[in-house]
């Protein structure tokens, strides 16, 4: 039995434009790392957090990683197991890329590895959702499910939880650009209206069904046509500098579809190859630079593995 | 070139529970027949309608079959072509099984056949939607698209019209029961609220995505779990006698899912074979008989062909 493990868990793009709260996919970069050790003592300690600019709590009850690991240990009947956690943030916080999710998932995958995979990956999702509840005030699964399972994931239902892995074209890539402006997830959620027109909801679920069909059919055009959001994007895009210009630049550079990642401010495009994704990030970062906004960018194929053990 | 043709077009189940206005499938029975002849004269005549109890207009401008054929002829630039139409209704009107759609589709398929398939099947959909507008006050496509194309169909978008044929399990069958009570489509639509809670819409599009995934994956259980409608069914079911008892009987008899066909009052179940479908119709019809309601029933596999030329 292992005494320690180092795990990487990936960033994720939730919603995928039309699939608010039900769709998400993982990417290979960025992501977070957790180093976890069995201490032989009692209880959870958080000995180190790096890369967070001091933003995250070291109190094990308040930190999402340790809190969700605690839920896991309670569930498996080893509530007092001695565990030390190091969290190495390798991605921006509050970026809309599932930062809390990547940390939480790395922690849960690590503890489950140390305990000889007592649970299967899908069974870890509810524990990761507890972490999201602590981080965002809302236990959504559209980041943690793809971070745990890799690839594209559909959350068909929350009660009961019903998670479906979706196929996707082999060469599907994502171009991600994070404009360094502040959009807290809680605020971004509160901007969304609680009531919508039925006819707009019909438009939306036609697109959700189209996107899912496109993924099964390896039909890039259908995937692209379906990446339309008339309910949430019009509100959330207000917080993102030059959102519609960024979309135009991405589409002009060959994106099959473009939108907000999660609650933003990161934006993403899907492409048929890495080269196009690279062109897109270059074009979008140049535009942001021209309007004096710093940005980070990431190019990755859609992640096929979920979390990985580094050593 | 043919001078006359007899065409059968199938009944259809629109919505498929969760997919209001975007999903539908066709069955092999019931359906309507149109006999169409090139007269050599000018203009459209409707010489005969049978099986409608005198309910349908013989005026070519008011009848949905002739009116949509007229749209087609105008479009292809032969507005004065001499055509005679006989319409033989072989299914109940106002049943929620796409009765007007079956007639309209049979007419359009017939005229397109007489004109050597000038348009492909998918291109006929907009003309059939014109017929639906005349019949129901609303040009929806979730009956006419599956009636024309066969199988399961997704209407991803209405503007622009974007129709996707979906796969489905080889042995998927439908059990349909039509309780002979009156539910006009226009009234059934008007009962539905125009605004819905976003959280309910999210639940619904999770199910739409789940149903589409289940069809691609040949996963009967997923198809069944996804056949839930929290937005429209609670309202429409009021007009259907003992709806929830009928659901329970259908599920007890082995249905994978159950719901209202279109705007009702017909109900349908999906099953893995014809035998189970037969059990379900028997059980539901007995229940309706016990509460003094006449009914008709149909058992069919999901239609794989769309309209067919009979002779």
Residues A243-280 pLDDT 10s = 999 999 999 999 999 999 999 999 999 999 999 999 99
Summarize the confidence of residues A139-153 as an average pLDDT.
95
The DSSP code for B303 is P
Mean pLDDT lowest for which of A130-134, B37-41, B51-55? A130-134
Partners of residue A203 in chain B, C-beta under 8 Å: 157-158
- Considering the candidates A86, A132, A233, A281, report the single residue annotated as catalytic: A132
List CB contacts (< 8 A) between A209 and chain B.
Answer: 19, 22-23, 154, 156, 205, 208-209, 212
Residue B278 has pLDDT above 70, yes or no: yes
Say what the pLDDT of residue A35 is. Answer: 98
- The 3-class secondary structure across chain A, one letter per residue, is CCCEEEEEEEEEEECCCCCCCCEEEEEEEEEEEEEEEEEEEECEEEEEEECCCCCCCCCCCCCHHHHHHHHHHHHCCCCCEEEEEEEECCCCCCCCCCHHHHHHHHHHHHHHHHCCCCCCHHHHHHHHHHHHHHHHCCCCCCCHHHHHHCCEEEEEECCCCEEEEECCCCCCEEEEEEECCCCCHHHHHHCCCCEEEHHHHHHHHHHHHHHHHHHHHCCHHHHHHHCCCCCCHHHHHHHCCCHHHHHHHHHHCCCCEEEECCCCCCEEEEECCHHHHHHHHHHHHHHHHHCCCCEEEEEEEECCCCCEECC
pLDDT for B184 equals 66
User: Are A209 and B157 a contacting pair at CB < 8 A?
Assistant: no
C-alpha to C-alpha distance for A144 and A130, rounded to whole angstroms:
10
- The whole-number average pLDDT for the span B199-203 is 96
Mean pLDDT of all residues in A70-74: 96
Q: Residue B86 has what pLDDT?
A: 97
Q: What is the mean pLDDT of residues A238-244?
A: 94
A239's CB contacts (< 8 A; 6+ apart) are A181, A183, A188, A191, A264, A265
Q: Does A201 touch chain B (CB under 8 A)?
A: yes
**d(Cα A236, Cα A186) in Å, to the nearest integer?**
12
Burial of B286 (0-12, 13-18, 19+ CB in 10 A): exposed
Q: Does A66 touch chain B (CB under 8 A)?
A: no
User: How far is the alpha carbon of A1 from chain B, nearest alpha carbon, in Å?
Assistant: 37
Tokens of A111: 């503890």
Q: What span, in angstroms and rounded, lies between the C-alpha atoms of A214 and B23? A: 16
Q: Which residues on adjacent β-strands are paired with residue B165?
A: B153
Residue B94 has pLDDT above 80, yes or no: yes
Q: What is the mean pLDDT of chain B?
A: 95
Catalytic residue, chosen from A12, A64, A185, A276, is A185
Distance separating alpha carbons of residues B26 and A141, to the nearest angstrom = 35
- For the segment A2-32, what is each residue's pLDDT rounded down to a tens digit? 999 999 999 999 999 999 999 999 999 999 9
Mutate to test the interface with A, among B22, B153, B156, B211 (most CBs of A within 10 A): B156
Which residues in chain B are closer than 8 Å to A22, comparing Cβ atoms? 202, 205-206, 209
For the residues B191-196, what does the mean pLDDT come to? 85
pLDDT of residue A137: 75
Residue B97 known to bind ligand: yes
pLDDT score recorded for residue A139: 81
Q: How confident is the model over A39-50, as a mean pLDDT?
A: 96
- Residue A160, chain B, CB below 8 Å: the answer is no
Does the structure's ipTM exceed the value 0.90? Answer: yes
CB distance from A145 to chain B under 8 Å?
no
- pLDDT higher for A5 or A190? A5
Q: How many residues are listed for chain A in this entry?
A: 311
Residue whose structure tokens are 């029933």: B297
- Verify whether residue A86 is a known catalytic residue: no
Give the per-residue pLDDT at A188.
Answer: 64
Q: Looking at the complex, report in whole angstroms how far the Cα of residue A81 sits from the nearest Cα belonging to chain B.
A: 38
**CATH class, A173-301 region:** alpha beta
Q: Could you tell me which residues of A are annotated as the binding site for ATP?
A: 92-102
Q: Is the pLDDT of residue B187 over 80?
A: no
Contacts of B21 in chain A (CB under 8 A): 202, 206
Task: Give the residue from A191, A212, A219, A228 with the most B CB atoms within 10 Å of its CB, the best one to mutate.
Answer: A212
Residue A184 confidence (pLDDT)? 65
Mean pLDDT of the A165-173 span: 97
Location of each CATH 3.30.70.890 domain in chain B: 173-301
User: Torsion angle, CA of B110/B111/B114/B116, rounded to 10 degrees?
Assistant: -100
pLDDT at A187 over 80: no
Question: What element of type H or E holds B163?
Answer: strand B162-166
**Residue ranges matching CATH 3.30.230.10 in chain B:** 4-166+304-309
Q: Could you tell me which of A30, A10, A6, A87 has the C-alpha nearest to residue A281? A: A30
Tell me which chain A residues have a C-beta less than 8 angstroms from the C-beta of B22. 202, 205-206, 209
Contact with chain B for residue A64, Cβ under 8 A: no
Q: In whole angstroms, what is the distance from residue B208 CA to residue B200 CA?
A: 12
Q: Over range A96-125, report the average pLDDT.
A: 96
CATH of A4-166+304-309, one of 3.60.20.30, 3.40.50.300, 3.30.230.10, 3.40.50.720: 3.30.230.10
Q: How far apart are CA B207 and CA B90, in angstroms?
A: 33
pLDDT-based confidence at B189, cuts 50/70/90?
A: low
Is the bond into B160 cis (omega within 30 degrees of 0)? yes
Is pLDDT above 80 for B190? no
Average pLDDT estimate for B87-103: 95
Averaged over A47-53, what is the pLDDT?
Answer: 94
For residue A52, report the phi and psi dihedrals to the nearest 5 degrees: -110, 5
């Amino acid at each position: 039995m292992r005494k320690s493990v180092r795990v990487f868990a990936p960033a994720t793009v939730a919603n995928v434009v039309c699939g608010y709260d039900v769709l998400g996919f993982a990417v290979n970069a960025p992501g977070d790392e957790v180093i976890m050790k069995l201490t032989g003592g009692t209880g959870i300690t958080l000995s180190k957090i790096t890369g967070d600019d001091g933003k995250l709590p070291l109190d094990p009850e308040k930190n999402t990683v340790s809190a969700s690991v605690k839920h896991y240990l309670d569930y498996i009947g080893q509530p007092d197991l001695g565990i030390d956690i190091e969290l190495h943030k390798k991605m921006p916080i509050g970026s809309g890329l599932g930062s809390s999710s990547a940390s939480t998932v790395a922690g849960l995958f690590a503890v489950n590895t140390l305990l000889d995979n007592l649970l299967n990956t899908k069974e870890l999702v509810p524990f990761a959702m507890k972490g999201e509840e602590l981080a965002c005030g809302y236990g959504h699964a559209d980041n943690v499910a793809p971070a745990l399972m890799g690839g594209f994931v559909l959350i068909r239902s929350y009660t009961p939880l019903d998670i479906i892995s979706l196929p996707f074209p082999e060469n599907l890539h994502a171009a991600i650009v994070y404009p360094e402006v502040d959009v807290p997830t809680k605020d971004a959620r509160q901007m969304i209206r609680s009531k919508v027109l039925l006819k707009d909801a019909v438009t939306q679920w036609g697109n959700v069904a189209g996107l899912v069909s496109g993924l099964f059919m390896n039909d890039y055009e259908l995937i692209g046509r379906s990446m339309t959001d008339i309910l949430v994007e019009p509100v959330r895009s207000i917080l993102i500098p030059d959102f519609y210009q960024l979309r135009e630049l991405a589409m002009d550079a060959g994106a099959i579809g473009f939108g907000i990642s999660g609650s933003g401010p990161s934006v993403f495009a899907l492409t048929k190859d890495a080269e196009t994704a690279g062109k897109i990030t270059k074009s979008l970062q140049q535009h942001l630079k021209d309007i004096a906004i710093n940005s980070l960018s990431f190019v990755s194929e859609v992640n096929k593995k979920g979390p990985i053990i580094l050593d």
